[in-house]
Amino acid sequence: MSSTERQRDLLFRQSIGSDEFERIDYLLKTSLRSPSAKVTDAWAISSPILTMQFEARARDLLVAESWVDTARLTSVNAASSVFQNGFTVPPQGMMFPIGTPQVSPPVSVTPGLVPKFEFLLCRVVIGRSYCTNDAASLMEGGQLVIPDGYDSLYLVRGDNSNAADISATPKSMNQAEAQTPKNYHEYVVLEGAQVIPCFLVHFTYDPSQDSA
């Protein structure tokens, strides 16, 4: 079976107007605080093995949803690989945003057309989080060490973390405060089993339409 065929077996298109499709669209609008944001397509990602691993790790722990921009993923965690194998978390951990999605402006936009985006809607095991504004101090020999009794790190805004893949370029505290929405939080996890991709979502979004 080719990789394309395996991906097709893992993705199940959601019917427009179905309860799940409407829930994703509502979640997108409320997360972005934008009535103009609109889901155009959504596929459920089905992997019994990933689901079993995630549910075992998540038992009795706090879980949150995270919008992950596929354009910001590295080759190690390309969407096609994540569908089948989940996320590969490096020794320095991986950051997942919770709250308002971080939508990067498109490189170019055709006049008259609303920009389109592709995100993964994931569930992340946060559990008990250790708060820090200096994740670098928790690195030992190139590996992030979360204190005993904690499941994740909560990055205080402005932290110059080395967490991989999804985090934006480190900013100064003033830059971070000015550019980051209030309803935006960053958590770092160390295990791939703490994250499961649930939906591949295509949507349109143009914030200028909200202020029109």
Express each pLDDT in 112-169 by its tens digit.
678 899 999 999 999 999 999 988 899 999 899 999 999 999 998 755 455 554 443 3
pLDDT per residue as tens digits for the range 72-91: 999 999 998 999 999 999 99
pLDDT at position 161: 55
CA distance 61 to 58: 5
Q: Provide the pLDDT confidence category of residue 102 given band limits of 50, 70 and 90.
A: confident
Asked whether the predicted pLDDT for residue 171 surpasses 50, the reply is no
Q: Could you tell me the end-to-end alpha-carbon distance of the chain, in angstroms, rounded to an integer? A: 49
Residue 157 φ/ψ, nearest 5 degrees: -50, 130
CA distance 177 to 181: 8
Count the Cβ atoms, other than its own, within 10 Å of residue 180: 19
- Its pTM stands at 0.85
Helices and strands in the chain: count of H runs, count of E runs: 5, 11
* Three-state DSSP state, 163: coil
Asked whether the predicted pLDDT for residue 177 surpasses 60, the reply is no
Count the Cβ atoms, other than its own, within 10 Å of residue 3: 11
Strands (DSSP E) found in 70-165:
94-99, 116-125, 129-132, 139-140, 143-144, 152-155
Q: Provide the pLDDT confidence category of residue 209 given band limits of 50, 70 and 90.
A: confident
Contacts of 33 (CB under 8 A, 6+ apart): 100, 183
pLDDT per residue as tens digits for the range 4-41: 445 667 899 999 999 999 999 999 999 999 999 999 99
CA distance 16 to 39: 9
Q: Report the candidate in 130, 129, 104 with the shortest Cα–Cα distance to residue 116.
A: 104
In this predicted structure, which of 72-76, 91-95, 111-115, 198-202 has the lowest mean pLDDT? 111-115
**Tokens read off for 62:** 């706090």
CB 157 within 8 A of CB 183: no
